């Protein structure tokens, strides 16, 4: 089988398992909605606040949801010892990691599809908000989080403190991407700045860290 077919098989399997149980989706949605609702009560939801800090508040909620999805990316492989089975096949580590990345990316995007309209309502997004740019930023930012997060989720698979280790590894590396996500979102909400610069930074970040993750996949997926 080609690497693309193996990656698709892993992605499809993970999504089918998730759609049957919906454990990750429910947890992700709960955390993201909880953060958005708490922020809407804690701050006066007006256009001025959205222009000043709307991007930050939105991405805090998305980060909470993303951490749940990424933490579970290899969790069932550890519990059921299926990773060892995958590694006995001719499947490359890059193909397995790509499939895991794809499922995590789609799960986070599903939560964002619900979160963005809710954010617009609760925080009174300005009428001149460029939603196409925000959706593009969300896709690029989610790609960055999923690319790094899937790799670090595999790296921390055998750690006893994997729930603590994953954010400690991911968040420092993701700081440039998080900064770009927040700044681009603020610009598309109507704030000052140039969004193209931040979007180009995200694209470059995605390319570099996706290539690094795939290149090191065989190393990080070795059975201990």
Q: How far apart are CA 37 and CA 100, in angstroms?
A: 30
Q: What is the pLDDT of residue 79?
A: 60
Taking a C-beta distance cutoff of 8 angstroms, is the pair 125, 151 a contact?
Answer: no
Question: Could you write out the DSSP letters of every residue in 108-135?
Answer: HHHHHHHHHHHHHHHTT--TT--HHHHH
Largest CA distance in the chain: 57
Per-residue pLDDT tens digits of the chain, which is 224 residues long: 678 888 888 889 888 888 887 777 888 888 888 888 888 777 765 556 666 677 888 898 899 888 888 887 777 666 655 666 666 666 788 888 898 899 999 999 999 999 999 888 888 877 788 899 999 999 999 999 999 988 888 887 777 776 678 888 888 999 999 999 999 998 898 777 788 899 999 999 999 999 998 888 888 877 54
Q: If 0-12 CB within 10 Å is exposed, 13-18 middle and 19+ buried, where does residue 20 land? A: exposed
Taking a C-beta distance cutoff of 8 angstroms, is the pair 92, 217 a contact?
Answer: yes
Q: How many CA atoms lie within 13 A of 136 on its CB side?
A: 15
Q: What is the pLDDT of residue 224?
A: 46
Q: How far apart are CA 152 and CA 219, in angstroms?
A: 12
Q: What is the pLDDT of residue 86?
A: 66
Q: How far apart are CA 166 and CA 154, in angstroms?
A: 9
- 189's tokens: 């909400």
Q: Which 8-state DSSP code applies to residue 27?
A: H
Neighbours of 1 (CB within 10 A): 12
| Phi and psi at residue 61, to the nearest 5° | -65, -40
Residue entry with tokens 């599809």: 113
């Amino acid at each position: 089988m080609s690497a693309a077919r193996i990656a698709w098989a892993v992605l499809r399997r993970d999504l089918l398992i998730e759609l049957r149980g919906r454990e990750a989706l429910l947890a992700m949605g709960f955390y993201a909605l909880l953060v958005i609702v708490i922020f809407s009560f804690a701050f006066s939801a007006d256009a001025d606040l959205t222009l000043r800090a709307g991007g930050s508040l939105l991405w805090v909620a998305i980060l909470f949801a993303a951490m749940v999805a990424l933490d579970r990316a290899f969790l069932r492989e550890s519990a059921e010892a299926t990773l060892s089975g995958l590694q006995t096949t001719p499947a490359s580590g890059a193909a397995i990691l790509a499939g895991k990345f794809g499922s995590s990316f789609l799960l986070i995007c599903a939560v964002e599809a619900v979160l963005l309209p809710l954010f617009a309502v609760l925080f009174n997004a300005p009428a001149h908000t460029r939603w196409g740019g925000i959706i593009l930023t969300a896709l690029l930012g989610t790609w960055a989080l999923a690319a790094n997060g899937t790799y670090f989720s595999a790296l921390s698979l055998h750690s006893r403190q994997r729930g603590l280790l994953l954010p400690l590894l991911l968040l420092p590396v993701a700081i440039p991407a998080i900064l770009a996500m927040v700044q681009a979102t603020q610009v598309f909400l109507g704030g000052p700045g140039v969004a193209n610069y931040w979007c180009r930074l995200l694209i470059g970040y995605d390319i570099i860290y996706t290539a690094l993750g795939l290149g090191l996949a065989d190393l990080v997926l070795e059975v201990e």
